[in-house]
Amino acid sequence: MDALTSPLLRGRAAAGDDPGLTDAETTGLIRLAAARGARAISIGSGREARVARSAQSLADAWRQRGGEVAIELIWPETAASWLRQATRYAAADAEAWIMLGPRQGWRR
């Protein structure tokens, strides 16, 4: 595992089987946020390289359609507390909050 791979990933996911967001998923997230009237979105992600690339692609696509990204926040996969990151993420002036990360990280 490289320095940007989640310590929570094991097996196939750690081996690179999770490609991150597909183009269709990125488009779907953008359509959903736009349909809900969002002008600004907050994007949070883990540090895993594929997830970070997905977050950047989503931010780029949102900006290309004229939207604003209120915050792009990367959090550590393991920490004593995520309070600081969560507070910054929730305090951003946005109408939609999108969290990206591997399924394994969300099951913990």
Provide the residue ranges of all domains of the chain, joining segments of one domain with +.
22-107
Domain covering 22-107 assigned CATH 3.40.50.2300 in the classification: yes
pLDDT over threshold 50, residue 2: no
Express each pLDDT in 46-101 by its tens digit.
888 888 899 999 999 999 999 999 999 988 777 778 888 889 999 999 999 999 88
Give every CB contact of residue 81 below 8 A, 6+ residues apart in sequence. none
CA 56 centroid distance within chain: 8
Comparison of pLDDT for 36 and 7, the residue scoring more:
36
Express each pLDDT in 23-52 by its tens digit.
999 999 999 999 999 999 999 988 888 888
pTM: 0.78
